[in-house]
Each structure stands twice: as structure tokens, then as C-alpha cells.
Amino acid sequence: MTLRPASPLLAPSLLSADFTRLGEELRMIESAGAQVVHVDVMDGRFVPNITIGLPVVEGLRKATTLPLDCHLMIVEPLRYAADFVKAGADWVSIHQEADPHLHRTLAAIRQAGGKAGVVLNPGTPIETLVDLIGDFDFVLLMSVNPGFGGQSFIPRVLDKVKRLNALRAARGVPFFIQVDGGVSLKNASDLVRAGADCLVAGNAVFKAEAPGTAVASLLQEMGAGRQA
């Protein structure tokens, strides 16, 4: 059984994009080869920032055919998770720390037709997920404290990726591993080598001098990590 996607995926985070030109930014990342669009939804309660909501996701859906990956940094995610799928999200992830009823919310996302993911903050152990294996399609490991783009990568998350990869192999259940926060050319190949299948990158793409080239370079590094 294949436990991982055929090749690693890059998901540029629109949080670092130019919000006055979102359509152009989408076309740019798509033509540069990015396979997924990461959308950071923040409510000002779970995290100290407010960003994107359902109407914007509906707009993005009309502007791209790439999968929309909505990372919900909100309290009570069950209230909104299925609505994000209805608005056009293909993947919806919810924080372990924000939901005492993960099993129910993951089921609601899948029932609405989305891929369901669980997100772990840097301080939340992977062991909190062992009794949910099979109930999610992916795990997102935060490598910064959620809330803002442009923060520094927390190096010990690399070991967390390795341990989650080992857990996946031991259980033989396919799910993919995503990493979000401070991803750059410096750590992309190591993360993929450790077991990551999808890397989110905000500043490393949109704040680069040549964003299209940055997408291509990140994908190249990620490919190198998979071959190693």
C-alpha cells in the first residue's frame, strides 16, 4: 500500500500574497508548478489575528482549479468546517487544541466531500492522534506558533516529522504529512527526507524577489529530499 503521495506537494500560503491581486498571485503560483493553495483562516480567538473567511474562499474557488487547502485556526471548528467545503475548499484542517470533538468534526468534513486534516501546534504531541488514525486524511505539523506569516522555523519539528512518519509506517495507514511555518530553501529537502509530503510556504514564495523562481527552487529542493 502506498502511504505517501507520488511526489511532494508545495502549498504557497496566500497570507503572504498581495491581497489586492489575489487572482494574479494564483495564476503565478500555478504556472510556476505549485500544486495546492494554502488558505489561512484565523478568527482572532484561537490565534491573535483575523484573516480570511468564507466569501473569500468562494472567490478563490472561481479563480483557480488548484485544490484549496483551508487551515482553520478557529475555535469551535465544527460550526464552520463543512461550510468551508461548500464554499469550495478541497482540504480542511482543524486544530487538535481547538476541538474536544475531533472525531465528529473530521467526519463532518469528509461527509461534506473534503479531505480532513488535524493540525498540531509545536507543543502538541503526535501521540494525541493515535486513536484517530484512519479518521483523517492528513496531519499538519505547525513549525511556528500559528497566527502570523514570516516567523522562524522551530528546528525540533524535524524530529516530530520523523516520528510521525514512523508511526504511519508502523500502522500502515495512508495519510499525508504537511508542515507549515518558516519553510524555506534551507529546510525543504530535510523536511521531505524526514517524511513530509506537503510543505506550506508563505514568505519564502510571496516575499521572494522572484516568486515564480522561488516556487520552482522549493520544488527542486523538495524533489531532492524525496530522492535521498
Which residues of this chain interact with ligand DX5, rule CB under 6 A?
A: 13, 15-16, 38, 40, 71, 144, 146-151, 180-183, 200-204
Is the Cβ of residue 132 or residue 148 nearer to ligand DX5 in the bound state?
148
SS (H, E, C) 41-80: EEECCCCCCECCCHHHHHHHHHHCCCCEEEEEECCCHHHC
Residue 27: what residue type?
R
Catalytically annotated residue among 43, 99, 137, 180: 180
If one asks whether residue 115 binds Zn ion (CB under 5 A), the answer comes out as: no
Residue 39, number of CB atoms within 10 A of its CB? 24
Q: Give the nearest distance from C-beta 205 to ligand DX5 in angstroms.
A: 8
Sign of the four-CA dihedral 217, 222, 226, 228: positive
Q: Stretches 76-84, 123-131, 157-165, 175-183: which one binds Zn ion (CB under 5 A)? A: 175-183
Is 40 assigned a catalytic role?
yes
What Rg value do the Cα atoms of the chain yield, rounded?
16
Residue 151 contacts which entry, Zn ion, ligand DX5, none (Cβ below 5-8 A, type-dependent):
ligand DX5
Q: The C-alpha cell of 167 is what?
A: 508511526
Catalytically annotated residue among 40, 69, 137, 197: 40
**Residues 6 or more apart whose Cβ sits within 8 Å of residue 147:** 42, 47, 48, 49, 73
Is 190 assigned a catalytic role?
no
Residue showing the smallest CB distance to ligand DX5 in the complex: 202
Residue 204 contacts which entry, ligand DX5, Zn ion, none (Cβ below 5-8 A, type-dependent):
ligand DX5
Q: Give the nearest distance from C-beta 94 to Zn ion in angstroms.
A: 12
Angle at 56 between CA 54 and CA 61, to 5 degrees: 95
If one asks whether residue 180 binds Zn ion (CB under 5 A), the answer comes out as: yes
d(CA 62, CA 5): 26
Could you say which of 25, 40, 69, 221 contacts Zn ion (CB under 5 A)?
40
Residue 201 contacts which entry, ligand DX5, Zn ion, none (Cβ below 5-8 A, type-dependent):
ligand DX5
Catalytic residue ranges:
40, 180
